[in-house]
Structure 1
Amino acid sequence: MPDVRAFRGVRYDVAQVGAMSDVIAPPYDVIDAALQEKLYQASPYNSIRLELNRPEPGDSEAESPYTRAAKFLREWQRQGVLRADDQPAFYVYEQTYQVEGQTHVRRGFFARVRLEPFGEGKIFPHEQTLAGPKADRLALYQATGFNLSPIFGLYPDSTNEVLRKVEEGIRDKTPLVAEDHLGVTNKLWLSTDPAVLSAVGGLMGQKPVFIADGHHRYETGLRFRNEKEAAGELSGPDDPANFCLMMLVSMSDPGLLILPTHRLVKGFPGLTAEELTNRLAPEFELQDLGEGDAGLEAAALATSGSGEQDVLAFGTVADGKWTLARLRSDAVMDRLAPDHGADWRSLGVSILQVLVLDHLLAPLAKDRSTRYVHLAGEVRDEVAAKGCDLACLVPPASMEHVEAIASALETMPPKSTYFFPKLLTGLVFNPIR
């Protein structure tokens, strides 16, 4: 069962850096060049210099973004800008955010979690990974010896017993507060009572953990640990490299929200609703939803409000029309994806990718490419700018889908889930050597 422990995190000394809002950053995989520059300008101590140090002219193996990140880290530790906490803690983390005008509050806690190879324990992935991001994160781990950004883990707890126990250790404590570039309010408390820490470790030891976000970082942690073991550099079972920094959230937390990941596809020039309907009709029941913003609004409501995975919506940019498509039978997905389980085959993103894009519409495709967005407003803007030929709206996956597919040791198709908001970098760091 998962080994979940309190730890002595390394954190910013707010007396030296000032406002925490000036030193936080999103994780590396959602930072573009403009945001990177903005974060560089926010503070000379912003964690962007660690998480995603920018390339400089003349970079080499000896002088690179990774070596600069390590240099900043060492300097900030020597200067006392970063300090290790005096005692082990779980770090309660709260995020207050808005989506489509509604306010949500998500709560969990940072912990140090023992790394387990997938399939050999009770930590499960749910999405596929790519080689490039893992090589990038490994170079950063090797240079700095730190987990700089947390992995996002989910665990079943229908009564939220674990978080209630963690929060027994933060009564009457004042949180650190930071607001990020998206307006999300982030709060952090330290839970240090030894009795609480022991009880939480025992409760978590009985539960599986499903990785929501940070699969690349988790697999990189495993590789970093294995390389140290092969080199004879592990000091024993409690060596820091055997663990990773993880944010743990109950799957029943009321603020846990999975956004859909809609597809904006180029490569179908001139595609109209009539031609789309002809192509989809053998496998789908089809309904005209109207045109323009009204059609998009109906499409978003139909895909997000039904709770069903077999309902997709399509906007054909050439004529501005929106079409609802409901799968007639599971048989076609059983035939096209026999190597996957029933839960995988029933996902909206699986139906879209395997049946619609790779099968029914494939003969029309010319240099197909895809962008991914999560909100109806983003779809509207892209369609208005004619930045795609076909807008594909999918229903959001549920926690039940994540648990069922991961427990079966399968991974969802890429871009199946989007847990918003992202967990910040800079609130607490975890040394791994």
Structure 2
Amino acid sequence: MAEIQPVRGWRYNTELSARIDEYVSPLFDVVSEKQREALYRNPLNSIHLSVPRGEDAAGAALERLTEWQKTGVLRQDELPGIYAYYQYFRLPGSPREYCRKGFMCHIRAYDWAENVVLRHENTLPAAVNDRAELLARTQFETSATHGLYRDDNFELERYLDEAIQSPLYETEEDYQGARDVLAVIQDAAVIRRFQQLLAPREVILADGHHRYEGSLAYRQARLAADPAATGREPWNFHLMYLTNAAADDLRILPTHRLLLELPGQLTDEEFLSRLEPYFTVVPKEDAYALPELLAGKQWAFGLYLSGQAYKLRLRPEVHEQLSWDTTEAVKALDLTVLHFFVLEKVLGIIGPDAQRAWPGVAYVRIFPECLSRVDRGEARAAFIVNEVTMDEVERVCHSGAVMPPKSTFFYPKTIGGFLFTSIRDDDYDHVFHSPFNPGL
């Protein structure tokens, strides 16, 4: 089902690769404005290709890309390969070093209806259009989306472990505290085994829904312009980082909810009173203990309101009131419960679409930041939540539904600048691609 292809990656030249930390960049939505500006000041940083700026941002990216290729800032590898990508990281409060193991390659850009690549969230049309325009102008994949396949036998990891012993380059520590390492596998027999193992599997899109839909939009435009296309053209494919959903090093962190306002100028007392029919509400002395109090408990939340902490637990008998037209897998989620009973029933923001558009909610990953923003008066209340589990993600995706917005934060995020790929029409003409392309 999932067709993958090796790529002849474009990478920074040998001299620049020795200082790769200066040229990598994070995804555009996970850093502060100050951090972003520092990256833009470096004229060779990859952010100029992945998140270009200006009135004609896509045109600026194409101009810069053309210059970088002409002057040798970026060079293309001679042989196609699958690129092993490891991220070493620690979680706060834990001495353990995790290592998320994966690989980057091209995957066919399947429409959602084909049920090969599965999504778990909706997208915003404007953001998709921006990514599609950038792809159309540059025909260059600048940052891999993150996909998940499941292999309980961990067959591919032994090839990845062998390759990572000879890295192409590695960061000292990226913006999120992770150490990133890139290597390449160019053995044709091994690459074919990767293709064989992925072929019968579905892939869950963990991160990068807008970029993936940008590839879909561009592919649809090209197909419309060329009805005689064979399906083997490079623009049918998309750059993806694939990791094993069975691995213990795949971490999902919670994203908490800040209420920037309470509609109708609700007082604290009125808000708490409206929560009572749906939740047991228990005051707690130590707000910083809320995550531990919630851990492992279904439909349990922390509330921080005017300096006072509370533990909330949905009254089990009211769950049947959850009337949204969605699957049982989605209805069972903590965040669905929170969005339905708090945002809709208590605050009157009716339905998922209205909630996505409502400016009164903000999404914050860092727990102490939630408390401090309430204390500073930047928000009226904070809801602290548990993380979504990988099992929940898989159940929702296979049910054909989507989660509430900002349900998952797969950690760490991939970085840009490690690997670029081309989807130009002539890119697969290279003789070394033929063993991997059944259409040639």
TM-score (norm 2): 0.88
* 1:71 counterpart = 2:60: no
- What secondary structure does 1:119 align onto? helix
Contact map agreement 2:303 2:311 (CA 8 A) in 1: yes
Instruction: Using the TM superposition, name which of 373-382 and 346-355 deviates more.
Output: 373-382
Contact map agreement 1:12 1:81 (CA 8 A) in 2: yes
| Residue number in structure 2 paired with 1:26 | 26
Aligned-partner Cα distance in 2 for 1:348–1:271: 25
Q: CA separation of 1:171/1:98 partners in 2, compared to 1, >3 Å: closer, same or farther?
A: closer
Q: CA separation of 1:149/1:309 partners in 2, compared to 1, >3 Å: closer, same or farther?
A: farther
Aligned-partner Cα distance in 2 for 1:38–1:146: 24
| Residue number in structure 2 paired with 1:287 | 282
Q: Please state how far the C-alpha of 1:372 moved relative to its aligned partner.
A: 1.0
**Deviating 4+ runs (over 3 angstroms):** 165-168, 274-277, 331-336
* 1:97 counterpart = 2:89: yes
Matches within 5 A, 1:335-414: 335-362=321-348, 369-414=360-405
| Residue number in structure 1 paired with 2:431 | none
1:173 corresponds, among 137, 153, 166, to: 166
- The superposition leaves residues 32-52 of structure 1 with CA deviations (integer Å, 9 ceiling, x where unpaired) of 4322220023x3210111111
Aligned-partner Cα distance in 2 for 1:396–1:182: 18
Contact map agreement 1:267 1:368 (CA 8 A) in 2: no
Flag structure 1 segments of 5+ consecutive residues without an equivalent: none
Letter in 2 for 1:337: S
Aligned-partner Cα distance in 2 for 1:244–1:234: 21
Aligned-partner Cα distance in 1 for 2:195–2:29: 30
Letter in 1 for 2:328: A
Aligned-partner Cα distance in 1 for 2:206–2:51: 21
Contact map agreement 2:98 2:249 (CA 8 A) in 1: yes
- What secondary structure does 2:120 align onto? coil
- The superposition leaves residues 213-234 of structure 1 with CA deviations (integer Å, 9 ceiling, x where unpaired) of 1111111111101111111187
| Residue number in structure 1 paired with 2:120 | 126
Q: Please state how far the C-alpha of 1:171 moved relative to its aligned partner.
A: 6.2
Aligned-partner Cα distance in 2 for 1:405–1:254: 20
Q: CA separation of 1:229/1:13 partners in 2, compared to 1, >3 Å: closer, same or farther?
A: same
Q: Please state how far the C-alpha of 1:432 moved relative to its aligned partner.
A: 1.6
Residue identity over aligned pairs, in percent, reads 32
Contact map agreement 2:84 2:164 (CA 8 A) in 1: no
1:88 corresponds, among 70, 74, 80, to: 80
* 1:324 counterpart = 2:297: no
- What secondary structure does 2:84 align onto? strand
Aligned-partner Cα distance in 1 for 2:276–2:156: 49
| Residue number in structure 2 paired with 1:114 | 108
Aligned-partner Cα distance in 2 for 1:101–1:80: 44
Aligned-partner Cα distance in 1 for 2:369–2:347: 24
Q: CA separation of 1:210/1:388 partners in 2, compared to 1, >3 Å: closer, same or farther?
A: same
Structure 1 vs Structure 2 CA RMSD: 2.1
Flag structure 2 segments of 5+ consecutive residues without an equivalent: 350-354, 425-440
- The superposition leaves residues 289-336 of structure 1 with CA deviations (integer Å, 9 ceiling, x where unpaired) of 12xxx2x22211123x21x3311111112xx1111111122x644433
Aligned-partner Cα distance in 2 for 1:140–1:132: 13
